Amino acid sequence: MGFPYVRLRRLRMKEGLRRMIRETRLSKDNLVYPVFVRPGENIKVEIKSMPGCYQLSIDKAVDECKGVYDLGIPAVILFGIPEYKDPYGSGAYADNGIIQRTIERIKKSIPDLVLIADVCLCEYTDHGHCGIIKNGIVDNDSTIEILAREALSYAKAGVDMVAPSDMMDGRIKKIREKLDSKGFSTVPIMAYSAKYSSSFYGPFREAAESAPSFGDRKSYQMDFCNSREAIREIELDIEEGADIVMVKPALCYLDIIAKVRERFDLPIAAYNVSGEYAMVMAAIEKGWLDKDMIIYEMLTSIKRAGADMIITYFAKDIVDILNNIDG
């Protein structure tokens, strides 16, 4: 039976009706807010390509996290800018490293906030690549040893979850074995499983001071032309012990999120990345887009595609927007 007996507009005529039958509901419980931490005290430096986002000293990062927690956002993900860099990224696993100290300080002040630590070497190496360089290329097997050491150091500092973002083969297994062997079997791993080599990462590389000094990351990050390969990457990470899998970026990869959701039952995270943020903010500042509605629509589309968790620089904005909508 069709028109005129069936009229789908009937259930769109009032806001109350639309709310009652809404299929996708975005919640602040779905959100993770990224925080960039740098050395020093009382430092808050705005990231030029990401208006409203900052590099923060540890004391300011604690204040930021208090604000995030008070909004009801359950988690933050931490990225560190070290005091020094070397070819091996040794600042990533130093006992007194920038993220290790940040974890300890935040845990003392806001113990119930979920702390996730990004596990990678790009911020810590003087060449800006995500691993150890041998013979001019990123060496996979020596890199995963360092990544496991980094993850362990975060666990010792008190982190709630580790999130390897490097895209080295076998790093989930290596990290899981290291954590389990040292008494941290309850620390989950959120794997950047399908992380594409994307032009949308540009502003992040300014924020984290992690641009590669030579070449690019196409030999380890995924080719954005590929879809089936993402399923293979995720299957392997699950076999190796990933508790949560991630698709990154989000907006141009909603099809990937949807395919992963159809195939796997694990929680799925999606990273609404820096370039996506910068692009939308530029249009908002020009007056070309309505800020509240574009943020709401964009993040809802990521949730609708199948993401359980959304890492986004818009996390604080969307909480206010959702409060207004629900109110």
Active site residues per annotation: 195, 248
Distance between CA atoms of residues 24 and 27, nearest Å: 10
Token duo for residue 273: 């990345």
Distance between CA atoms of residues 79 and 271, nearest Å: 14
Question: What is the Cα gyration radius of the chain?
Answer: 20
∠ Cα 316 319 324 (to 5°)? 135
- Name the residue with tokens 């993850």: 151
Q: Are the C-beta atoms of 237 and 193 separated by less than 8 Å?
A: yes
What are the C-alpha distances in Å from 173 to residues 129, 152, 180, 209, 296? 21, 13, 11, 28, 37
Distance between CA atoms of residues 233 and 41, nearest Å: 40
∠ Cα 186 189 308 (to 5°)? 110
What are the C-alpha distances in Å from 315 to residues 30, 90, 246, 272, 325? 9, 31, 17, 10, 15
Q: Are the C-beta atoms of 217 and 130 separated by less than 8 Å?
A: yes
Per DSSP, helices labelled H in 218-306 are 228-240, 254-263, 274-285, 291-305
